Chain A
Amino acid sequence: MTPSPTQHEDPTASEPSTHTGAITLPNGEIPAIRFDGVGKRFGDHVVLDNLNFTVRKGDRVTLIGPSGSGKTTILRLVMTLEEANEGFILIDGKPLTHELRGEKRVPLKEKHKNEMRKRIGMVFQQFNLFPNMTVIENIIEAPVHVLGIPKPKAIERARELLEQVGLPDKADAHPTQLSGGQQQRVAIARALAMDPEILLLDEVTSALDPEVVGEVLGILRDVAHNTDVTMLIVTHEMQFAREVSNRVLMFDGGQIVEEGSPDELFSNPQEQRTRDFLSAVL
């Protein structure tokens, strides 16, 4: 990766990679997410090439950039929906899907990956609620069957979450009876019910009618303010990126072109490619 003017902000940039045990920042902190030389190809098409970046715990990082720049792939790699072809992803200092043993990059066991997944939640562009379950069944499914939380307790928590996303009376509805905006709010509640350390938001408003985008973003704004969950956000809503995130990474061609605080990056972009992108979307 070519160092950009703001690259010095990554406190781990000069640290040697070990991949064994926890990797700490100079101040003793373990980053929530670390990409270390990550490469991802689909056939001959290189999506990400030797990508390095770090997300600190509690950070709200928005990934922006033209479509096809690899933003969504990054979220899908963190959620283990895709696996990298090269490099390592560390979650809270622990390798996610592959680790370095001696000189070799070896895949980790399904059991390990599953343990790692439990710490990560994702909200999808198309909601992906289970249509064969009611709203409350969608929300308690994983807490009960994955985390082993007793059903009454999971239901109680699910009702709190439904209250939080403004749908207290939809517990027994089926997803197909809800509007897009309502479905996405249930999907957010479902992800939060797992108490994830990291929440991945993949273009969560792109499939919504314009008039309901605001209510979904409002809920995510509340989540950002009321919890310390680390967020990795892919969005075309620059206003949302500005309000919620404390860091923005501009991607193009699978590389970080520029990064900075939303204020810096949106008001005073340094790179031509960032300026071109922003003028196209704002």
Chain B
Amino acid sequence: MNGSLWEWQFVWEALPILLLAFVKVTLVVTLLGSAIAAVLGLLIAVARRSAPGPIAAVITFIVNFIRMTPIVVQLLFVYYAFTGVPPVTLGIIVFGIHYATYMAEVYRAGIDAVPVGQWEATTALSMSRRRTWMAVIVPQALRSTIPSLGNYVIAMFKDTPFLLAITVVEMVRAAQLFGAATFRYTEAFTLAGIIFLIASYPTSLLIGRLEKRLAYK
């Protein structure tokens, strides 16, 4: 039985283990990381546009620094810098901040796409800066950004295996451990890939449909 390349028995054995790791770690990190990235990214985009020059320049520098360094380096850095914090928490924060810098660019493009006449109308109506952002600019910017943000969520989802660098047992690490215990790596990694595919593909279709629905009729 150990001689063949593929044994279904190990697929059924690995499935519950991988699904559990998927739900408990991969999905949780992706959802919480995305939430942090979406909110922080918007704050970065708004701050870069409305903060005084020097502050905006500092934010731009930090954003570029984060974007220009690999996420694995960032994960390893915080793992050794903050030893008391659970690695999965660090992972969520690092993914959140890392992807916030990318989402900030998406928001920036969305904000820039709001016609200048909209800003002028808010001035003509004496609207406050805060209200202008919250009631007019952000809602309009979001429409054009949601599909691109969704694509970054999928990208983050596929990046979660990097967490194995900091000892987090997400789905791929669980597959590796399963393989180490049973000497059946092929089934475990294939299954992990298929679970990623099954989760990503419908999500990308959903984003495509959302894009169509959000266009102003």
Contacts and interface: CB of A to CB of B under 8 A. Distances in A.
Interface of A: 79-81, 114, 117-118, 120-122, 124, 126, 128-133, 141-142, 145-146, 174, 176-177, 190-191, 194
Interface in B138-173: 139-140, 143
B50 to A, nearest CB: 13
Contacts, number: 66
Given A114-B128, A121-B124, A146-B127, 19 more contacts: A80-B123, A81-B123, A117-B126, A118-B126, A124-B117, A126-B117, A128-B118, A129-B121, A131-B140, A131-B216, A132-B136, A132-B140, A132-B143, A141-B135, A142-B125, A142-B126, A145-B127, A191-B124, A194-B125
Contacts of A190: 125
Interface in B87-130: 115, 117-118, 120-121, 123-128
Given A132-B139, A145-B128, A124 B121 contact: yes
A122 B121 CA distance: 8
B131 interface: yes
Contacts of A191: 124
B217 interface: yes
Interface size class of B (residues with CB under 8 A): 10 to 19
**Chain A contact residues, majority secondary structure:** loop
B123 A79 contact: yes
A132 B121 CA distance: 14
Nearest to B140: A132
Nearest to B125: A142
A133 B132 CA distance: 13
22 contacts: A114-B126, A114-B128, A118-B126, A120-B124, A124-B117, A126-B115, A128-B118, A129-B121, A130-B121, A130-B135, A130-B136, A130-B140, A131-B140, A131-B216, A141-B127, A142-B125, A145-B135, A146-B125, A146-B126, A174-B216, A174-B217, A194-B126
B127 A142 contact: yes
Contacts of A114: 126, 128
A133 B161 CA distance: 42
Contact of B124 (A122, A131, A145): A122
Nearest to B143: A132
Chain A CB within 10 Å — which of B121, B124, B143 has the most? B124
A133 B115 CA distance: 15
Contacts of A120: 124
A34 to B, nearest CB: 20
Contacts of B127: 141-142, 145-146
A71 to B, nearest CB: 17
B60 to A, nearest CB: 24
A86 B198 CA distance: 65
B124 A79 contact: yes
Contacts of B217: 174, 176-177
A117 B123 contact: yes
A81 B119 CA distance: 9
A176 B131 contact: no
